[in-house]
Structure 1
Amino acid sequence: MTTEFADEARSRVARLLRMAATHDDRLRARIVEYAASTPDPPPYGPHGIQTKGCTRCRQTMWKQRDVWVCSRCGHVEDSR
């Protein structure tokens, strides 16, 4: 069992690899590439993390308060 401090100290790549629980080198390389090419998600809000696809570039949008913000192109949409 790890402490919360140890878990927070792990990199995003390490956390994703641990969650994937695979020893397949090709899959692990794809996970590392994904983590390097996408931004870290925003901090958890009161309703967790919500995502959807961006209407402009088709990448991930994160819901932040009352707006959606694209992690790739920065496009913003009202959430109402």
Structure 2
Amino acid sequence: MTTDFADEARSRTARLLRMAATTDDRVRDQIVEYATTTPDPPPLGPHGIQTRGCGRCRRTMWAQRDYWVCAACGHVEDS
């Protein structure tokens, strides 16, 4: 059992590998690739995590207060 502090100190990759709980090297490699090639989600806001498609690059936009920010190209739109 780990404390919340220890869990927060782990990297995103380590947390994903721990959640997957697999020893399959192929699956673990896929998880590592995913974690290193996708941005971290923003901090959880009061309405949870909200996403939509980016009109510019078609990747994922995250709701950030009164704006939408694309995780891939950085495009910003008003809510």
Please report the TM-score for the alignment, with normalisation by the length of structure 1.
Answer: 0.85
Mean CA deviation greater in 47-56 or 10-19:
47-56
Question: CA–CA distance in 2 between the matches of 1:30 and 1:52?
Answer: 24
Measure the CA separation in 1 of the matches of 2:22 and 2:58.
Answer: 28
User: C-alpha deviations, 1:36-61, integer Å up to 9, x for none?
Assistant: 11222211111222222222212221
The alignment covers a number of residue pairs equal to 79
Give deviations 1:3-26, integer Å, cap 9, x for gaps: 111111110001111122222211
Which consecutive residues of structure 1, in runs of 5 or more, have no partner in the other structure?
A: none
Report the identity percentage: 80
Q: Does 1:45 align with 2:45?
A: yes
State the alpha-carbon separation in 1 of the partners of residues 27 and 52 from structure 2.
Answer: 24
Q: Is it true that 1:73 corresponds to 2:77 in the alignment?
A: no
Give the aligned residue type for 1:45.
G
**Structure 2, unaligned stretches of length 5 or more?**
none
Inter-partner Cα distance in structure 2 for 1:12 and 1:69:
20
TM-score, normalised on structure 2? 0.86
CA RMSD in angstroms comes to 1.4
